[in-house]
Amino acid sequence: MKLYLDFEPCDECKTIMKDLASPEIIFGDEDLRKDESAKFLRHLTYNHSEVVQAVMKDLPKQKRSQEYDFFK
């Protein structure tokens, strides 16, 4: 999945993105790539609320599932 983001990256973002583009990550095993990608997504989630808000705005809204009577 590709996600295109328009935001001003901080110094930590730039460092993580540089690491993600390194040959060790690109040609590394799948688990290593997943771990490094997750690290970057966690950083975005906790440190860049504008990114989270933009993603939430563009994602389709899920309909709320039917609640059964015993939940009321």
| 23 domain-assigned | yes
| 15 domain-assigned | yes
Q: Which is higher by pLDDT, 4 or 46?
A: 46
Place of tokens 């990256």: 9
| 4 domain-assigned | no
Q: Which of 30, 61, 56 is nearest to 45 (CA)?
A: 56
| 65 domain-assigned | no
Count structural domains, the chain: 1
Instruction: Write down the pTM of the prediction.
Output: 0.67
| 36 domain-assigned | yes
pLDDT at 71: 56
Residue 65: pLDDT over 80: no
| 53 domain-assigned | yes
| 63 domain-assigned | no
| 21 domain-assigned | yes
pLDDT for 23-61, tens place per residue?
Answer: 999 998 999 999 999 999 899 889 988 888 877 877 766
Q: Which domain holds residue 17?
A: 11-57
